[in-house]
């Protein structure tokens, strides 16, 4: 893999309640996004959410890589008005929202949204003039 595989296009960290990264549409983005999310959760003392959050981010970044050809954004948000919630967003420039479909035991792909739906508190999508965002919420223990 070239150096682009480990590149982060941009990083924003605001007030300790939000962390945001932009990754190139390259297969290395999945690994880099997982590491960024895990590291931020460790910094926020939310390591207990690390496995679930990184699995779901991996699935959504992989979906973006398969269907979109532009930069992929990952954002973690700890809403001040909802302190027991971690909001995670993955965005890309493709405006078409993903659709969850039934998964059969012998299917080799298509489980990403099923995992997001079953492992998160709730999830959804939104579109705007720059593409789409798939988001999910995880309950913060405690």
DSSP per-residue string spanning 75-86 = EEE--TT-TTEE
Please check whether residue 1 lies inside any domain of the structure.
Answer: no
Beta 122-128 vs 131-139: how paired, if at all? antiparallel
- Measured CA angle at 1 (ends 63, 35), to 5 deg: 55
Per-residue pLDDT tens over the stretch 115-142? 899 999 999 999 999 999 999 999 999 8
Beta 122-128 vs 85-92: how paired, if at all? unpaired
Q: How many domains does the chain have?
A: 1
Please check whether residue 55 lies inside any domain of the structure.
Answer: yes
Please check whether residue 140 lies inside any domain of the structure.
Answer: no
Angle between helices 50-67 and 28-43 (to 10 degrees): 150
Taking the model in full, what pTM does it have? 0.87
Q: Is the pLDDT of residue 15 over 90?
A: no
**Cα 45 to Cα 3: distance, rounded to the nearest angstrom:** 30
Mapped onto helix, strand or coil, the DSSP state of residue 64 is helix
Per-residue pLDDT tens over the stretch 21-65? 999 999 899 999 999 999 999 999 999 999 999 999 999 999 999
Range of the domain at 52: 7-132
Question: What counts of helices (H) and strands (E) characterise the chain?
Answer: 3, 6
Q: Assign residue 48 the CATH number of its domain.
A: 3.30.565.10
Contact between 34 and 58 under an 8 Å Cβ cutoff? The reply is: yes
Please check whether residue 29 lies inside any domain of the structure.
Answer: yes
| The two three-digit tokens of residue 76, written as one number | 């973690």
Please check whether residue 78 lies inside any domain of the structure.
Answer: yes
């Amino acid at each position: 893999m070239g150096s682009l595989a480990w590149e982060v296009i941009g990083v924003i960290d605001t007030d300790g309640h939000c962390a945001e990264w932009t990754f190139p549409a390259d297969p290395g983005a999945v690994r880099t996004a997982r590491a960024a999310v895990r590291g931020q959760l460790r910094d926020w003392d939310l390591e207990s959410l690390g496995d679930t959050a990184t699995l779901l981010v991996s699935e959504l970044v992989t979906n973006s890589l398969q269907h979109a050809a532009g930069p992929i954004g990952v954002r973690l948000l700890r809403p001040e008005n909802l302190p027991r919630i971690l909001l995670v967003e993955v965005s890309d420039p493709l405006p078409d929202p993903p659709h969850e479909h039934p998964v059969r035991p012998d299917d080799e792909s298509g489980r990403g949204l099923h995992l997001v739906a079953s492992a998160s508190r709730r999830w959804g999508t939104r579109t705007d003039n720059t593409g789409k965002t798939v988001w999910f919420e995880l309950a913060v223990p405690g």
